[in-house]
Amino acid sequence: MTSRLAQQWGFSIIIGLLLVSTLMAWRIQESFSEESVQIHRRFVQGQDTLNNLRRSLWTIGVNLRDYYLDPEETFPQFLRRTEKLESDAGRHLTELRGISKHPKQVHQLAGSFEELFGQARLATTKESSPELRLAFIQTEIVPRRDKASRLLREIEAANHSSLTDSEYLLRATRTGAAQRLLALLAACLFAGVLVAFFSIRHAEMLEAEAARRYHEVLGAKQQLEDLSNRLMDVQEEERTRLSRELHDEIVQNLAVMKMEIVQAQMLSAQRLPEAREILARARRIADDTVRSVRDISLLLRPPLLDDLGLVPALQWQAEEFTQRTGVPCKLDDQNLSDDLPDAVKTCVYRVTQEALRNCEKHSGASSVCVTVCQTSAGLEVVVEDNGEGFSDLQRKPASLGVLGMKERAYSLGGTLEAGNRAEGGAYIRLALPLSLAVADKIPLGAYV
């Protein structure tokens, strides 16, 4: 099983346990809340019933006393009130049988009420003196009423005891359910700790692997940069060597050949007209060859850059661009120092050369301006024209011309930006730092 699959299973188990514990907690709360309400409802209903019975108990005595003492009270009126009380008491006793957990005491209470109502009806049917009626109430009615009252108190005490027992049982059941819920939550916590441990361990392994690969990529990037710098170094060295060889060997040989042709042409002027024509043609070829080789030498590595400095080299480049294309190219140098590092001079010259080459090939401009400005922060070079501007393809990072210029800028810790001007045309902006800290870190390959 893979670590990813194990994590998925672990999180699934945790989620499942959380869902089960949540459902269990909801059921515990729901069931115990309902049971608590039922217990309270039964107790309140029992108390109401007992109070109603207690009220009926005392009302029968009051009605009997009123019947004896009130001369206007008739037997039918007393009988109707007594029957209504008996009916209410019977209904309350029926309710009490349904909710009470003490049927024996309820049965005794029902018998006491039956005897009490029976004696009350019997007392009203006898014609006797007030003394005998009072004695009948004291001997027959009051003891039965006291007995019923005592039974009511016993049932009430039993109801309170049942309430206490129900509450205790509810608490015990709830405690057991809470313990089961806590056990489930403990299992969930244990599973969560395990999953967290393995997840953190897996994340640390992934982080270590990512760091290792990141360092590998950094190393490969550094190797590529070193290789790029070395390639530019070799390229510039090769250009310098070719330029010197062209200038020192081929140009000199062509110049000697030209002198020999001129001498031969002078010697053969009177005798061989045909040879003079051939030698004239050879002289023109030699002149063209010398000029082409000199141009190639200047393009490969202009001696002006090494001998006279950056500004003359850029000035020659602007003039050569104008002669070659017929497009005016203006050079504007501001506060440019003469002791710039060779790597910076080479980078500025090559970027300007490539920018003018792009302008010649793609822009169709009628004027070009090269601005070189040096400040305390660094050196900035801007080449701009009024042509068609860059296309999306030319501005892509993979464009070789722009990519080569950016590589040169990055090798010196600088930046290069290429884009279109708002008023029309294109621009290339090169920014190079000139601090000593940066200059001391210029790689070998930057001097190309």
What CATH number has the domain spanning 3-201?
A: 1.20.120.1730
- Mean pLDDT confidence for 246-260: 69
Predicted confidence (pLDDT) per residue in 133-184, tens digit: 666 666 667 777 777 777 777 777 777 777 777 777 777 777 777 787 788 7
Predicted confidence (pLDDT) per residue in 302-350, tens digit: 676 777 788 888 898 899 889 988 899 999 988 888 788 888 888 898 8
Q: Is the pLDDT of residue 395 over 70?
A: no
- Mean pLDDT confidence for 32-37: 69
pLDDT given at position 249: 64
Q: Which residue has the higher pLDDT, 283 or 74?
A: 283
Predicted confidence (pLDDT) per residue in 416-442, tens digit: 998 888 888 899 999 998 764 344 444
The yes/no answer on whether domain 303-446 falls in CATH 3.40.1390.10 is no
Identify any residues that bridge with 379 across adjacent strands, giving them in sequence order: 374, 432
Rounded to an integer, what distance in angstroms lies between the CA atom of residue 290 and that of residue 246? 10
pLDDT given at position 193: 81
Residue ranges per domain, the chain? 3-201, 303-446
pLDDT given at position 5: 72
Angle (deg, nearest 10), helices 251-267 and 273-300: 160
